[in-house]
Structure 1
Amino acid sequence: MIEATDFRNAMSLLTTAVNVITTKGETGMHGFTASAVCSVTDTPPTLLVCMNQSSRSYTHFMENEILSVNVLGAQHEHISNAFASSKFNSEQRFKLGSWAKLETGAPILKDALVSFDCQIEKIQEVGTHSIFMCRVVAIQHSQQDESLVYFNRAYHSVGQVEIA
């Protein structure tokens, strides 16, 4: 049997994009930092988002049935840290960026590399997490060209840097 720590150590070597997942409803705006996001299909456009069921914002995502996936740029490390930390409440987290909305009303980070506005269509529980199958209803791109990624328990940036 594979131990949880061995699995986490191995997964730390899988480079992943850093995302802030957000929602908005009657109880306000909520969000968390996630690396477990991926494309499922382009017809219809669908993303998979994994969320820990013990997260303090979990019930808000379940109730709202909407979310946005904000793919962070290299300059967003502080936003990633705030949305991952229990030291910040929702109001404090959302003060760190400039936010807007698209179709669903879920907050999108205006200068995210790209934001996917989604309707949660299906939810599958697996162990400690829920897998949200999310139909993409709108997309917004920015002019950013460097992505924030997480590898070996540290942030890195990847992308094109223009030399003047």
Structure 2
Amino acid sequence: MLALDTSAFRDAMSRLGAAVNIVTTGTRTDPVGFTASAVCSVTDTPPTLLVCLKRDSRARPAFVEGGPLCVNVLSSAQQALSNHFASPNSMEERFTIGHWTTLATGAPVLEEAVATFDCCISQIVEVGTHSVMFGIVEALRINQNVGGLVYFNRAYHHLPHAPE
């Protein structure tokens, strides 16, 4: 079997559009968070999702300790927040933007998020350079009046609000 070129794989994966999210853990007084597009549904019974996090991320130890995991789906107006959480800012600095509260698990929840999935981590599987964290959803919140933010081909794209 031929080895697949890493850069070709990354180029192909950049064409797989994904929602932009801020993933959090900890508490409002000791928050940890990062920007992620590697988030997807696993099953609806029980409601479970997964999040991929680089093993060398400075946020990883807080998640590996177990406990909450909260996925905050960003709106089309929150591109700057995505960049802010992807920057080398301290964890404390990251949470100075936005309005933060909590739901069931106590993890930081972004009030302005398109959707919020407040989870308890059920397991973490190590795969190559990443940790795949599985979260069972304990609570959720939906904001139906905003458009979404996606990342495709290494650029942000804004989705309009789609009335129901």
User: Which TM-score bucket, shorter chain as reference?
Assistant: over 0.9
| Distance in 2 (alpha carbons) for counterparts of 1:95 and 1:74 | 20
Residue 142 of structure 1 and its aligned partner are, at CA, apart by 1.8
C-alpha contact 1:17 1:147 (8 A) present in aligned 2: yes
Is contact 2:145-2:161 (8 Å) kept?
no
CA shift digits 1:127-149 (9 cap, x unpaired): 01011111000001124320000
Task: State the 1:5 CA deviation.
Answer: 1.1
Cα separation, 2, equivalents of 1:2 and 1:47: 28
How many corresponding residue pairs?
161
Identical aligned pairs, as a percentage? Answer: 50
CA distance change for structure 1 residues 24 and 102 in 2, over 3 Å: closer, same or farther?
same
The alpha-carbon distance between structure 1 residues 25 and 146, as it changes in their structure 2 partners (threshold 3 A), is: closer
1:85 Cα offset (Å): 1.1
Query: Contact (CA 8 Å) 2:28, 2:101: kept in 1 or not?
Result: no
Aligned positions of 1:14-163 closer than 5 A: 14-25=16-27, 28-86=30-88, 88-160=89-161
Gapped regions of structure 2 (runs ≥ 5)? none
Please state which structure has a larger fraction of its residues in strand. 1
Change (3 A) 1:61 1:138: same
Helix, strand or coil: the match of 1:124? Answer: strand
Deviating above 4 A after TM superposition, structure 1's stretches of 4 or more consecutive aligned residues are none
User: How much is the aligned-residue C-alpha RMSD, in angstroms?
Assistant: 1.6
Which blocks of at least 5 consecutive residues in structure 1 are unaligned? none
Could you report, residue by residue, the CA deviation over 1:39-74 in whole angstroms, capped at 9, with x for unpaired residues? 000010000111111000100111142110000000
> Are the equivalent residues in 2 in contact too, given 1:112–1:144 (CA < 8 A)?
no
Q: Secondary structure at 1:159's aligned position in 2?
A: coil
Contact 2:28/2:107 (8 A) holds in 1: no
